[in-house]
Structure 1
Amino acid sequence: PRPGSSFAHFGFDEQLMHQIRKSEYTQPTPIQCQGVPVALSGRDMIGIAKTGSGKTAAFIWPMLIHIMDQKELEPGDGPIAVIVCPTRELCQQIHSECKRFGKAYNLRSVAVYGGGSMWEQAKALQEGAEIVVCTPGRLIDHVKKKATNLQRVTYLVFDEADRMFDMGFEYQVRSIASHVRPDRQTLLFSATFRKKIEKLARDILIDPIRVVQGDIGEANEDVTQIVEIFPSGPSKWNWLTRRLVEFTSSGSVLLFVTKKANAEELANNLKQEDHNLGLLHGDMDQSERNKVISEFKKKGIPILVATDVA
Structure 2
Amino acid sequence: GIVHTTKQQPRARYDGPSVLVLLPTRELAQQVQEVSVDFCSALGLKMACLFGGASKGPQARDLERGVDIVVATPGRLLDFLDNNTTNMKRCSYLVLDEADRMLDMGFEPQIRKIIGQIRPDRQTLMFSATWPKEVRALAADFQHDAAFLNVGSMELAANHNITQFVDVLEEHAKQPRLMQLLNDIMNQPECKTIIFVETKRKADDLTRWMRRDGWPTLCIHGDKNQGERDWVLSEFKAGKTPIMLATDVAARGLDVDDIKFVINYDYPNNSEDYVHRIGRTGRREKKVR
Report the TM range for the smaller structure's normalisation: 0.5 to 0.7
Q: Which amino acid aligns with 2:231?
A: A
Q: State the partner residue of 1:262.
A: 232
Q: Which amino acid aligns with 1:151?
A: K
Q: State the partner residue of 1:275.
A: none
RMSD value, Cα: 3.8
- Distance in structure 1 (CA, Å) of the matches to 2:241 and 2:171: 20
How far the C-alpha of 1:263 sits from its partner, in A, is 4.3
Q: Which amino acid aligns with 2:42?
A: A
How far the C-alpha of 1:201 sits from its partner, in A, is 0.3
Q: State the partner residue of 2:57.
A: 119
The answer as to 2:108 corresponding to 1:108 is: no
How far the C-alpha of 1:104 sits from its partner, in A, is 2.7
The answer as to 2:64 corresponding to 1:94 is: no
Where in structure 2 are the equivalents of 1:1-310 lying within 5 Å?
63-218=1-156, 220=158, 222=160, 224=164, 226=166, 240-247=178-185, 255-256=193-194, 258=220, 259-263=229-233, 267-270=239-242, 293=258
How far the C-alpha of 1:261 sits from its partner, in A, is 3.2
**Closer, same or farther in 2 for the Cα pair 1:135/1:144, shift >3 Å?**
same
Q: How many residues align?
A: 222
- Distance in structure 1 (CA, Å) of the matches to 2:74 and 2:185: 38
- Distance in structure 2 (CA, Å) of the matches to 1:95 and 1:260: 14
> 2:192, 2:242 within 8 Å by CA — same for their partners in 1?
no
> 1:109, 1:129 within 8 Å by CA — same for their partners in 2?
yes
How far the C-alpha of 1:250 sits from its partner, in A, is 9.4
> 1:95, 1:111 within 8 Å by CA — same for their partners in 2?
yes
How far the C-alpha of 1:120 sits from its partner, in A, is 1.5
- Distance in structure 2 (CA, Å) of the matches to 1:176 and 1:218: 30
Q: Which runs of 5+ in 1 are unaligned?
A: 1-62, 272-281, 297-301
How far the C-alpha of 1:304 sits from its partner, in A, is 9.1
- Distance in structure 2 (CA, Å) of the matches to 1:225 and 1:154: 47
How far the C-alpha of 1:185 sits from its partner, in A, is 0.4
**Closer, same or farther in 2 for the Cα pair 1:119/1:230, shift >3 Å?**
farther
How far the C-alpha of 1:173 sits from its partner, in A, is 1.3
- Distance in structure 2 (CA, Å) of the matches to 1:138 and 1:269: 31
SS class of match (1:111): strand
**Closer, same or farther in 2 for the Cα pair 1:231/1:303, shift >3 Å?**
closer
The Cα offsets for residues 145-186 of structure 1, whole Å up to 9 and x where unpaired, read as 111000000000000001111111111112111211100000
> 1:194, 1:217 within 8 Å by CA — same for their partners in 2?
no
- Distance in structure 2 (CA, Å) of the matches to 1:227 and 1:155: 46
Q: Which amino acid aligns with 1:80?
A: S
- Distance in structure 2 (CA, Å) of the matches to 1:227 and 1:118: 45
How far the C-alpha of 1:92 sits from its partner, in A, is 0.4
- Distance in structure 1 (CA, Å) of the matches to 2:117 and 2:169: 42
Identity of aligned residues (%): 33
SS class of match (2:155): coil
The Cα offsets for residues 132-152 of structure 1, whole Å up to 9 and x where unpaired, read as 000001101100011100000
Q: Which amino acid aligns with 2:92?
A: T
How far the C-alpha of 1:240 sits from its partner, in A, is 3.9
- Distance in structure 1 (CA, Å) of the matches to 2:169 and 2:114: 37
Q: Which has the higher contact order (CA 8 A, sep 6+)?
A: 1
> 1:248, 1:303 within 8 Å by CA — same for their partners in 2?
no
